[in-house]
A and B are shown apart, each in its own frame.
Chain A
Amino acid sequence: MDAALIPEGAKRCSFPKFMLGIAIVGAVLLWGVYAMLLCWFKGLNQTNMNDYYGFALWIWADLAVIAVGGGAFFTGLLKYIFKIDELKNIINFAVIIGFICYSSALLILAIDIGQPLRGWFIFWHANVHSMLTEVAFCLSCYFAVLTIEFIPNILENRQLNKVPFFHHLAHNMHGVMAIFAATGAFLSFFHQGSLGGVAGVMYGRPFAFREGLLIWPWSFFLFTWSAAAFGPCFTLLVTRITEGVTGKKLVKDNVVHLLAKISGWMIFTYMIAKIIDTWYWAYYTAPGLGFELSHFYTSNGFYGYWILVAEVIVCGVIPGLLLINKSTRENPTFRLVAIVLAVIGVCLNRWVMVLQIMAVPVMPFDTWALYIPSWQEVATTILPVAYGIILIAVAYRYLPVFPQELELNRRSEVRES
């Protein structure tokens, strides 16, 4: 039915089967859209946020998708600036994932603010001292860059590519992509960092506050570093899932091993920095303000030391080591465990840096504030996931996302026959 649109030589499932899948995920998407509309028309009273939990599930989701979307800028950087050519085989997919993550982030922000129609005030009345201003500018610009990076891939669609103009446009855009990749990397460095800065500059919140370099708290650099480190893991994870769902190998092992290795070293070095940061904060920054470390991890029903151990050791150091070590890295099971742990780890870090900050009491006579999100919050948080699945499905079906797909699968077909 839609055969004319499918990349030449690629095998895809039947159109009805495809549409059935889309319909199921689409239903989830509509549920999210309904919740989104509730939030817009009835206001944020639809959530379980409150004056203690001004930042909650959404801001976590926002920071998490941006962190895991960091695979796009980092892979781009490696491919176009550091000229690691093998990565061309995964860069398209990294860009699509990034595009999904960043468009989701913008959508979440549009739901999260109390006056969405005034959202543009952040540009119009910008306060240059605010980390959020930096986030907004860089995020929007980088989203534009990602769109530009995504366009050539779209134009490579079998039918679009027949239009000579689109064909040449795509070709030429590929040619200048290094410039955009550089711009993207630059922008990403700042907005990933400024998201870390959002928490780090809050000197009224000792759990969040970090000292730093010039105007940037250490969390600024840690966020950039962690996005670069963990983003590729998410790219690999989504690739692995796509391979699982399609039942095909889409990216060659050497590419995967390479990205995993880079990611492993990034995670490992990041964890060293993170441990130093945590140690400095726990032994100097917080006690200097009168806080014992135990203040942040006891006397409440949820946030114990376990979360620190889970983030730093289980989902940080361990996946780092697994990916550095050649034998574990090249073992599909260990690698999968490592990338799953890594993705959980970075999400956990963002959770801690958003929600635990809100939960910790600051005034000596105040108490812990815990909250459970409302269904509207959960639905709107799942909404981008559904949207991402649909976009990936459509892109995979109609665009030549994986350059090695045909080669890998032709071989397997040959072997099978």
Chain B
Amino acid sequence: MKVDRRSFLGLGIGAVAGIAISPVGAKLTDDFSIWTQNWPWTPVPPDGEVSYDRTVCHLCPGACGISVRKIDGRPVKIEGLDPYPVNNGGVCLHGIAGLQYLYDPSRVKSPMKKVNNRFVPISWDEALTMVADRLGELRNDQKPDTLACITGSDQGSVPGLFKHFMAAFGSPNYLTMPDLESWLVRTAKTLHGDAYTLGFDIDHSDFILSFGAGLIDGWGSPVACIQTMGNRRQRQATLVQIEPRLSNTAASANQWIPINPGTEADLAMGMCAVLLKENLFDPVFAQGFKGGFMRFTAMVQKEYPLDKVAGVTGISAADIQKTAVAFAKAKMPVALPGKGRGEGAQNLKEFAAVHTLNCLSGNVNKQGGTFVKPLPKYLNFPDPVQDAVALKGAAAAPLAGSVQELVTRIDKSGESPVKALLVYNANPCFALNDPSRIRAAFEKIPFKVCVTSFMDETAMVSDVILPVSTFLERMEDVPSKAGLAATVVGLSKPMIKPVFNTRSPGDVVIGMARALGGDMAKNFAWDSYDACLEQVTARIWGPLVRKGHVVLSENLPAGSVETDFEFLAQNPETVKPAGDLEFTLIPIDYFRVPPTVPAPSPFAIKTVSDRILKGTDMFVEINPQSAKNLKDGGFATLTTPAGSVPVRVHFNDGIMPGVIGMVKGLGHTLDNKYVSGKGVNINALISPKIEPDSGMDAAFGIKAGISKA
């Protein structure tokens, strides 16, 4: 057949028309639309059998019971566990976001060693051998006390194992990070003697006098506190919140009393003076007052008269008087120390002065009051077998009472007195004041081992990283801390097999000891951490496994306590914000940014207000009355004696004029684009200031200047 132009055209048109009316078009369109509904790069979560498992969260001292929903064993959701004595079904955003930590981009996936300033993955055997070799040298050199260890907290069996390790090794240099619990223990020690801690029965109290305690901003056991605050109005309990800034807690309080930053201790002393002067203290409880009560009484009358305190704190004398009297006359008053979350740089004078109010009120070891309770003793570690080297080392004087003091020691010595450092569950290179100084001191330590789940700021300066499983991947006892009235020990259990090549921190300690061999290995003869846990918690192991938790003390602590006024009677000096600039910069504890370890989850960062963080810009809060030529939302330079950073300004009527507030916990530099490089770490702007009596850093704020950028 001859194909001419005409037939070709005809054929073409015919074909087009044919295809157009055939189902091909409709079919292709349909296929196309189905494809757009199932793009292969959008994940389709596999379905499966649903199960629920229970465990305990240990992202913060709160120790909430949580329930994990799983699909074919794969955790998909965390919820609050009900009933559970701490949180009764409640939960917080960080706990819910716990699953994100399993797959966090900054997780350490296998043991690492630093080679030429870069981390290279190694095997567990190599890592443990390397650690054992380096630590073994210290013992061979008869200098075991040059090993220091920093852990996040000192309660529970894992810190117990680290302590056991240090004792067997022969070093007294075991330090913890300054969390609320450590401050409470220190306060109890100062006023009541060793091995006590404080608990606050705010659940039943009818008058809560909070010296900046962020009861709904993350103080104590956050969920428990929020729940208590949730039903506070129904109970008709009064909350008086004293702090320089209208925190969320202050906003929800019956009364907010703004106070000049850093003068809380003076106010508490002034209130003590009022109670003593007006004879508003409990005479029965006062029978237990020892050590310098008379001198204390005389001192506060002399040094803290109303007018003077009013001048210092910026609160009217009438208000101080009225509040003190209301506190004393309440049926079940409780005074709470610990600004914000109550962790980090606080000061002993303030804690002691506030707790003295509790003591004067007599509402100690009574319902709705303050519990002076013995530290939980559910762990029974065998006594460490110390060889001659260990005995000598352990008897040496500790280098420091706090991490900051230790850093100062290293800073001031040409050669570091610490030759090796173990860090577990702590991130001092981010969380403490002036982190660059801490980093520099750590650099001087020849060998640093970081036992961590995440490549955080401290891990980055270490030489060996021993990666540990997250709380969802391991078994561990979790004692409740942080000012709860009851003491609850929960058992966290693995919800999922470790996602990466990680181990439980207990197994890491046991592994290090075994690798060291000799007496060290003998002290850690357990097959595994799980076996160790069962042994050291033998007294409560049965119910712990059966119920998932054990309540150690629920009732009022028995027996009377003595109160020693010696410390306060000397009128220790109040640590004031350093510098002479116009403003005072204070850290803001913001619930949506977790305090220290781990860094925020992507979900938590997502909830952060755009008036705190915008892009990578950090906002500071300032009262428009003292803002001068600054503009709301505008750029400014914030300067303190410790440094200078660009910030943006957020006008907040709820902050005292003359005060600048900056959210704490941002400005991470770890390898996680969802949380890193965002904002400024306020700690970098504050130089530590050691309180002589506690040896702790007490620089809660610092003087600052701000000018238009």
Contact = CB atoms under 8 A, between A and B. Distances in A.
Nearest to B33: A118
A13 interface: no
Interface string A115-155: 10110110000000000000000000000000000000000
B381 interface: no
Interface in A340-362: none
Nearest to B29: A120
Contacts of A118: 33, 36-37
Interface string B23-49: 000000100110111000000000000
A115 B39 CA distance: 12
Size bin of chain A's contact surface: under 10
A342 to B, nearest CB: 39
Contacts of A120: 29, 33
Interface in A95-130: 115, 117-118, 120-121
B472 to A, nearest CB: 33
Nearest to B36: A117
Nearest to A119: B33
Contacts of A115: 36
B563 to A, nearest CB: 49
Contacts of B29: 120
Interface residues of B, number: 6
Contacts of B33: 117-118, 120-121
A311 to B, nearest CB: 30
Interface in B1-58: 29, 32-33, 35-37
B29 to A, nearest CB: 7
A41 B511 CA distance: 53
A118 B37 CA distance: 9
A115 B42 CA distance: 14
Nearest to A121: B33
A117 B35 CA distance: 9
A115 B33 CA distance: 9
Interface in A70-109: none
Interface in B578-604: none
Nearest to B35: A117
Contacts of B36: 115, 117-118
A120 B32 CA distance: 11
B673 to A, nearest CB: 17
Interface in B365-381: none
A117 B36 CA distance: 7
A202 B37 CA distance: 29
User: Chain B CB within 10 Å — which of A115, A117, A121 has the most?
Assistant: A117
Interface string B551-590: 0000000000000000000000000000000000000000
A120 B30 CA distance: 10
A115 B35 CA distance: 11
A115 B36 CA distance: 8
Contacts of B32: 117
A119 to B, nearest CB: 10
Nearest to A120: B29
Contacts of B35: 117
A80 B37 CA distance: 46
Interface string B494-523: 000000000000000000000000000000
Contacts of A121: 33
A120 B28 CA distance: 13
A120 B36 CA distance: 13
A121 B35 CA distance: 14
B192 to A, nearest CB: 48
A406 B409 CA distance: 100
A117 B31 CA distance: 10
A57 B29 CA distance: 29
B35 to A, nearest CB: 8
A42 to B, nearest CB: 13
Interface in B59-90: none
Nearest to A115: B36
A355 to B, nearest CB: 22
Contacts of B37: 118
A386 B37 CA distance: 34
A121 to B, nearest CB: 7
B10 to A, nearest CB: 14
Nearest to A117: B36
A51 to B, nearest CB: 13
A120 B25 CA distance: 13
Contacts of A117: 32-33, 35-36
Interface in A19-37: none
A115 to B, nearest CB: 6
A370 to B, nearest CB: 13
A118 B39 CA distance: 13
B33 to A, nearest CB: 5
Interface in B411-428: none
Interface string A395-414: 00000000000000000000
B408 to A, nearest CB: 47
Given A117-B32, A121-B33, 9 more contacts: A115-B36, A117-B33, A117-B35, A117-B36, A118-B33, A118-B36, A118-B37, A120-B29, A120-B33
Interface of A: 115, 117-118, 120-121
Chain A to chain B: the 8 pairs with minimum beta-carbon distance, closest first: A117-B36, A117-B32, A118-B33, A118-B36, A115-B36, A117-B33, A120-B29, A121-B33
Interface of B: 29, 32-33, 35-37
5 contacts: A117-B32, A117-B33, A117-B35, A117-B36, A118-B36
